[in-house]
A and B are shown apart, each in its own frame.
Chain A
Amino acid sequence: MTAPGKAGRLGAALLDAAKAMLVAFGLFVVMVGLRTDVSSSGALLLRTRWMDVALLCAAVFVLRLAMALWVRPRLPAAGSALLGTGLTRAGLLFGPALLAVALVLPFIPGIGRYELDLGILVLTYVMLGWGLNIVVGLAGLLDLGYVAFYAVGAYSYALLAQYFGLSFWICLPLAGILAAFWGVLLGFPVLRLRGDYLAIVTLAFGEIIRIVLLNWVSLTGGPNGISGIPRPTFFGLPFSMSGGPGTFAGFFGLEPSPSHRVIFLYYLILGLALLTNWVAIRIRRQPIGRAWEALREDEIACRALGINITNTKLTAFALGAMFAGFAGAFFATRQAFISPESFTFIESAIILAIVVLGGLGSQIGIAVAAIVMIGGFELFRDLDEYRMLVFGAAMVVIMVARPRGLVGSRAPSVLLGERRRIDASLVGEGRG
């Protein structure tokens, strides 16, 4: 370094240290320099400790100067690299840690009925988010009527159980298949549309399903909904408070407790959510998953490569709808009562917000977003109507700070050598 540069740096460092000392003096002169004491006669008296203030200010000056001259020049490179690797390592551990907490949650002391119910609710939205992520995050199709498939799943289970007496375990796959069927049925005419037009039509579809459910009173009970939906059994063993030999508690020789069913429901939705996650992760590494992402990136290039756009979009739509159907069947069996009230547009909006907030295409981001959105909403219950305000403000802040969601980089599906970062700004958002 040249002499003037060095002198300039010294000057700047001295000035910086002097400023820091001034701030320290301002603080310490009242906090340390003046002290009230009780004298032996009982009266208050002011004691001054100017010496201590001088020592403190000198220490601040010396330390600040040392930092500016020796520590800071080496800090930026080493500091950010350290922070970077630390964050990556924490990121790698974060997913498994979250999963571990989810797995043991019902047995953590202090977790009661309320917390478990909240956990079930959050996991339902995690699952819906992961399902919608296939459609919006991977294939880039903006679907504003996702709740329609959730409703199809819920009503499928409720009606099949009511009219044919089928058990939950038979109805679960049927609900998924029926929802996927409706996904394809809706998909055929509308997938020619692109971007905003697709969003509007899916939005309308969501409303149509809800209005049909509301008005087809003879089948669905209309606004009264369907009640008395059979609760799930533990592979044939009902959760009954009687504790008889044919019940869950009786079979395993446990004290009958209402928490058994809640814990079972919790693990059921955890399993379903993990299934969704597993399928989504596996399918991303397969030709069809890559084709979805390619579709999001550039539809015309896909056509030039011989990829059948319509079929590819339909599979994404059907798969996304199927997971919504599973979640719907679970919802019905948990609530034991469903009505069209539960399937309004706001549900679609919340699920979409979770996907967008989490970072399009990112599994862990969506899980965190669901916890924050649903859990946070519960947390701020005491704020009453203000929580909407808090909530909206939080979303605005996140979208300004991280416009591509919490997890803003894309993980490649296949590697030749070592992984390099793909910045989110390169990744398409999908207009198809």
Chain B
Amino acid sequence: MSTSLLAVELAYWSETTLRVIGGLVAILLPAGGLVYVYLFKMMSFMQSRLGPMEAGPYGSMQLLAEVGKWLQKEDIVPAKADRQVFMLAPFVVLISTFLLILVLPFGPDAWFVDLDTGIYFAMAVSSVSVIGILMAGWGSSSKYSLLGGIRAAGQLIAYELPMVLAVLGVVIQAGTLNMNEIVFAQANGEIFGIDLIGNPYILTQFVGFALFMVAIQAELTQPPFDMPVAESELVAGYLTEYSGLRFLLFFIGEFATAGVFSGIAAVLFLGGWYVPGLAPEHDLYNVLGPLVLMGKIFLISGLIFWFRFTYPRFREDQLQRLAWKYLIPIALLNIVATGVLKVVF
């Protein structure tokens, strides 16, 4: 438990307050880091330019400047919009992100909630964001927003299936749905009797890993899967009518979810907070674990953004064909193969 780490008994309300603050840090720190390192700097270098350089040393304060800018802007609600639905939509998307971070383990005892159904819970709450996007698309009363919302929903429904099916391979191999036990299963695993680096499931579940990465790229509506916000066709899709704070919330939601999904991928396939050489039961992991996990999050989201900056956008029919005709059958085969191998070995 997180309280045992502090070795003091906390009251219910103070424990809850600490968890809320911890959750905010765990959401905002990776999100800000990803925006600065990848969106500002890596993309610029890939395009032979420097990126933001003025605000702070090496442009490192640019993020604060951007947030300040968005906060100052007027919060415009279109006259014909469905006011309540329009204003609530970004919060529904953020709720989904905050629920996702809950099950992410940062160390053997450093977690928010240790759910028995861990990864299943994550898959369930990640689908709540679709409702927020549909609310934004419908509530704006704009053709572009509505088209963007419908595209987003179609895409998220299609790619949720390969994502869940890819995770099943890991669940079968680990024999548990609990996120922390999945980490332990990898840390204590061995490859052909050699337990030098444990058994990170990226080795045995590489197909699952590839499917999961493609699926989360689509779930995050990152290019090449960014038809919902395709600027050349739909202005900005479901974001068209948003400004100021509410646009900022969508923006934070996008990058925070990228961070959380990378964290889930790190737990499932890279061994989470575990590093080879230190026994997974060691207490040091409660301090070291968050840093290790952060490193792995940046590694995996580096892949996501690398693809984002490299590939051109799909067409809508290509996207649907990829999900239903290729990813889902491969994922099903992966499950069958994993099940057979699990029984044989």
- Asked if A and B are interacting partners, one says no
